[in-house]
Amino acid sequence: MALYDRGYMRGSSPGEQALSGMGMIMVLIAINVVLFLAGNILPGLAEMLLLTPQGIRSGRIYQLVTAGFLHLEFFHLFFNMWGLYLFGGLVAPHIGGRRFLLLYLIGAVTGNLLYLVLNWHSAGGLLGASGAVFAVMVAAALLEPNQQFYIFPLPVPMKTRTLVICYTILEVILLANNKDGIAHLAHLGGVIGGYLYMKLSFGNRLSWDPFRRKPAAWRPQFRGGAPEPPPVGRAGNAAQSGGPVGARELDALLDKVSRYGINSLSEYELARLRQAREEMRGGK
């Protein structure tokens, strides 16, 4: 397969992974909107799907998931879906659709679990995608820490990592006051779930990690029986150490991206992949 036949080489984004990831974002938004409309038409549906300690005690374990897709107020839905689209657009091109779905579900479930454990004897309920959105925000900061956002009414842009740190600190402060009726525990649970998932998935290959003191050299690690992708480049037998990118090196790089995703490449490997693209452009 030629270099430009690979979807992730047709532009600055990883192509097919980006499309599948953005497609998953739209599917998740659609599910949330449909359940919002259905919940307002059929009130009994919302009562069945929202998370309550009584529901879990009665065996409705599915509420840990379904509550993360349910909203009863329009602005609650709107701001959650806007955050999902905005921050998800930074994450999806890196991890693809299936991993993005898993990130969403983990954020929703860990947020709901943290709320449930500390409100086990409460008579209230919990619903909303906020835990999932906070997980996506954390993933955006870990993958694209220097992306800038303008937050009203601040006149200066704020980096993704700074924004997430500020939001997390704010959630802790608001949790301590606990007077606004918002489930800040679910937000913090989403932060924890999003970080753990991304850390376990990408390890030291994350662009930013608030708990990492210094970058670690690559070493084989096993997660769930699957090894970390091996390096391709100066330390790889299939790669050259410099000069033009050969066919064997290019195939090894493209196979690694196909199997493990574009985020699995080291800085050197990414540079070699870009060099191969430029060499092919120059040959036209």
Q: Are 12 and 94 in contact (CB under 8 A)?
A: no
Instruction: Reply yes or no: is the peptide bond before residue 229 cis, omega within 30 of 0.
Output: no
Domain co-membership, 143 together with 254: no
Task: Write out the residue range of the structural domain in which residue 45 sits.
Answer: 14-205
Q: What are the two backbone dihedrals, phi and then psi, of residue 162, each rounded to the nearest 5 degrees?
A: -65, -40
Whether 5 is in a domain gets the answer no
Domain co-membership, 247 together with 159: no
Domain co-membership, 196 together with 235: no
Whether 211 is in a domain gets the answer no
Would you state the pLDDT for residue 23?
93
Would you state the pLDDT for residue 72?
86
Distance between CA atoms of residues 141 and 211, nearest Å: 13
Domain co-membership, 114 together with 43: yes
Domain co-membership, 147 together with 26: yes
Whether 176 is in a domain gets the answer yes
Would you state the pLDDT for residue 239?
41
Sequence letter at residue 114 = L
Token pair listed for 236: 């790889």
pLDDT averaged over 10-residue windows placed end to end, the chain, 284 residues = 38 47 94 95 90 95 97 94 96 93 98 95 92 97 91 82 93 81 91 96 90 55 41 44 73 73 74 80 60
Whether 181 is in a domain gets the answer yes
Whether 7 is in a domain gets the answer no
Q: How many CB atoms lie within 10 A of CB 18?
A: 22
Tell me the torsion sign for CA atoms 251, 257, 263, 264. negative
Would you state the pLDDT for residue 109?
98
Whether 248 is in a domain gets the answer yes
Domain co-membership, 198 together with 245: no
Would you state the pLDDT for residue 105?
98
How many angstroms separate the Cα of 139 from the Cα of each of 91, 159, 173, 187, 265? 6, 14, 22, 14, 18
What kind and span of H or E run contains 203?
none
Q: What are the two backbone dihedrals, phi and then psi, of residue 77, each rounded to the nearest 5 degrees?
A: -65, -45
Domain co-membership, 235 together with 177: no
Domain co-membership, 139 together with 245: no
Distance between CA atoms of residues 103 and 109, nearest Å: 10
Q: How many CB atoms lie within 10 A of CB 208?
A: 15
The DSSP line for 123-175 is S--B--SHHHHHHHHHHHHHH-TT-EE--TT-SS-EEHHHHHHHHHHHHHHHH
CA Rg, the chain, in Å? 21
- Tell me how many domains the chain contains: 2
Sequence letter at residue 147 = Q
Domain co-membership, 126 together with 235: no
Whether 221 is in a domain gets the answer no
Domain co-membership, 128 together with 43: yes
